[in-house]
Amino acid sequence: MGSFKNRLYDGVPAALLACAVVWIGLLTAGPGDTTALAVCREVVAGTDQGRQALVGSCWFSPLVSIVALPFVWLLGETPLAGCAAAGVAWTFALVICGRILERSWAGVPLMVLVACAITAVGGGASPAVAVPAALAVFALRSAALWSRDQRLRDLVKLGAGLAGLILCGMPVLGVTLALALAVPLGALAGSDTRHRLPAVLILGWLPMLYALGVWVLMNRLIFGSGLFFLESLGIGGLLTGHGAQWMPRRPEELAATAAAAYALTASLMTRNRRAAALGLLGLLFWAWLVVLRGGSAAWADAPGRAVLMVSGVLALWHLRHGGTVWRTPWVTLGDVALFVVVAMIGARGLVPPAANPAAAIMTQVDADVRARSPYARVFVCGYAGLGLLTGSSNGRLESNMDLYVQTLRGDYYGQNLFLLVPEPVGAAAAENVHIRHPDLYTSGGGRMLVFRDYGPWRLFEIVGAPTARQLGVVPK
């Protein structure tokens, strides 16, 4: 009965705070990246494009789509489905925070601190932010306990968290690697585990490596190349530096980094292992944000910013409350007030994404190609194309995740074929079409000519000289 009450004490405030986080996130930054919902739509429909989109890019997490899948199946591809998935993830994260202290309601101030940190980031309504951040909270708590006590159950939980984080892909890769370092470092801190380091590494890292192996296997089975999902690093990832913004400048990021640095410094003097581990991890997370922005991938840093904020909060909390007794409540109230101010300043600086008139674009594209030929077919490229096709039931418009122009010509012989390509800016730069044809958007090529522009989208007509089959000539 006592255990049930404790869970109730953790679950009720966590659910209420999660609803508040989602609501504020929806007001300040909109629903966020809806790519996961579009992938779920195709998976529910059972299309080949859905299976390809689920595992075909290291930037768009397969795990986020899997978490959102039941909600899309029940509620459709609507903002409500995304908010529900994000709410469940944030509730899980806040419950984990509430379990840090065993006393009833003692963890509520920490939940409030974490909720303020998430609100400042602005991804409260986005599953792409909520799922990696929730897994990171779970892994952070396990890493802190493992570094202090070297208990087997904490190591197992840390391994499970790493397995989930590796399936969240490139936006939190640095977070995953930093947390993976906690496995050997925690083992070296204990006299017993130090002599069992190989066994500790197997237990802590094997789930992560197994999950990565499953991802590679799915790419091999679906695309014929086990490393297909890594091809998106070539243009949209860390190999280009155009438009780099190296240093995080937002106030909440600076506050979280300062809290982590302060916790690390103070904990080294007081020998608080949990605070030291969390402070060090927070600084490593900040370094990962620097790497992302230096590689022109700032569009993918929202999950990393959320994890940085949470790590700063947890490091500060463990520094304040090193024991099991809840002490100095006035310090906790001061921390809450500080992060409330940071959340308000950060939320005021957020700008909701501009409305994308997807329906109007697709209607105009359909009218233009139908005027050209009643048998025309348009292939909309990439993950951005999945979002553009939201709500469209026109069979003339199809998504395409793995572009082979010659295959399209053979499969749709006799039809006028068109290709709708997004401008290679931000997330769209990591699309497969720009990997296969780097100069397509600017200069065309491969028997593809520019037909018309629709905002950031460019329509190409796949044309060329008649082939022998078209001329009716049978080769000898």
Tell me: pLDDT of 54 over 90. Answer: yes
Percent of the chain at pLDDT exceeding 90:
33
Tell me: pLDDT of 158 over 50. Answer: yes
Between 161 and 29, whose confidence is greater? Answer: 161
Residue 2's pLDDT is what? Answer: 45
Residue 471's pLDDT is what? Answer: 53
Tell me: pLDDT of 240 over 60. Answer: no
| 76-85, 106-115, 234-243: least confident range | 234-243
Mean pLDDT (whole number) for 241-253: 65
Residue 307's pLDDT is what? Answer: 93
Residue 204's pLDDT is what? Answer: 93
| 83-97, 229-243, 313-327, 461-475: least confident range | 461-475
Residue 80's pLDDT is what? Answer: 92
Written as one letter, the residue type at 363 is: T
Question: Can you tell me the distance from the alpha carbon of 413 to that of 405, in angstroms, rounded to the nearest whole number?
Answer: 12
212: how many CB neighbours lie within 10 A of its CB? 15
Using one digit for the tens of pLDDT, what is the confidence trace for 208-234? 999 999 999 999 999 988 999 998 886
Confidence label for 1 from pLDDT (cuts 50, 70 and 90): very low
124 three-class SS: coil
Enter the pTM of the model.
0.88
Question: Can you tell me the distance from the alpha carbon of 288 to that of 308, in angstroms, rounded to the nearest whole number?
Answer: 10
Q: Which helix (H) or strand (E) holds 367?
A: helix 358-372
Written as one letter, the residue type at 300 is: A
Using one digit for the tens of pLDDT, what is the confidence trace for 369-421? 888 888 888 999 989 888 888 766 677 888 888 888 888 877 887 788 888 99
Between 457 and 241, whose confidence is greater? Answer: 457
Residue 465's pLDDT is what? Answer: 47
Per-residue 3-state assignment (H helix, E strand, C coil) for 240-300: CCCCCCCCCCCHHHHHHHHHHHHHHHHHHHHCCHHHHHHHHHHHHHHHHHHHHHHCCCHHH
Using one digit for the tens of pLDDT, what is the confidence trace for 322-340? 655 555 556 677 777 777 7
Residue 106's pLDDT is what? Answer: 62
Tell me: pLDDT of 470 over 90. Answer: no
Tell me: pLDDT of 294 over 90. Answer: no
CA dihedral 293, 295, 296, 300 (to 10 degrees): -60
Residue 338's pLDDT is what? Answer: 78
Residue 349's pLDDT is what? Answer: 66
Residue 4's pLDDT is what? Answer: 47
351 three-class SS: coil
Q: Taking all residues of the chain, what is their mean pLDDT, rounded to a whole number? A: 83
